[in-house]
Amino acid sequence: MDSLEKFLSLIAYAEGTYHIGDRGYNCIIGSTKKKPILFTDYREHPRKGVFVRRLGIYSTAAGRYQILLRYYRAYKRRLSLKDFSPASQDAIAVQMIKEQGALDDIHKGKIQEAILKCHKIWASFPGSPHKQSKITMKELLDFYERL
């Protein structure tokens, strides 16, 4: 597994989708291992708003990287994507990483730096401004090393 694939798995781990369903690709926000909320049609983002009681918010986050519907729509056009398939989800995540200036860090093995650059995108990363529990940097780096 190359460094980018490992980083993508790290995002899925942090977002809580790594061990659910189809490696998280068919996961809707609020899923847990014990109670997965899955979608079955990859032709489109599931467009399902879920009230997350513990956060007090509605969210349309879905897929391995918990992509919000509004971002899916924008990246679908920008990247000329045809669906919400695993390949499309990966393409969106990679584009988001690029936009944060973290892709080079990943390729150079500067994973902590990449995590810090991406913390505004993925709510579970340390330092994220979003209302969600955060995974510690140590736990993320330990997970990355185990891959």
Kindly name the residue from 15, 99, 139, 145 that is annotated as catalytic. Answer: 15
In this prediction, residues 53-58 reach a mean pLDDT of 84
Q: What is d(CA 125, CA 66) in angstroms, rounded to the nearest whole number?
A: 13
pLDDT of residue 55: 79
Pick the CATH number of 3-146 from 3.40.47.10, 3.40.30.10, 3.40.50.360, 1.10.530.10: 1.10.530.10
Q: What is d(CA 58, CA 33) in angstroms, rounded to the nearest whole number?
A: 21
Answer whether 0.85 is exceeded by the pTM: yes
Encode pLDDT of 59-106 as tens digits: 999 999 999 999 999 999 999 999 999 999 999 999 999 999 999 999
Pairwise pLDDT comparison (116 vs 54), residue with the higher score: 116
Q: Say which residues have a Cβ less than 8 Å from residue 9's Cβ, sequence separation at least 6.
A: 1, 18, 147
Active site (annotated) includes residue 15: yes
Ranges of each domain in the chain: 3-146
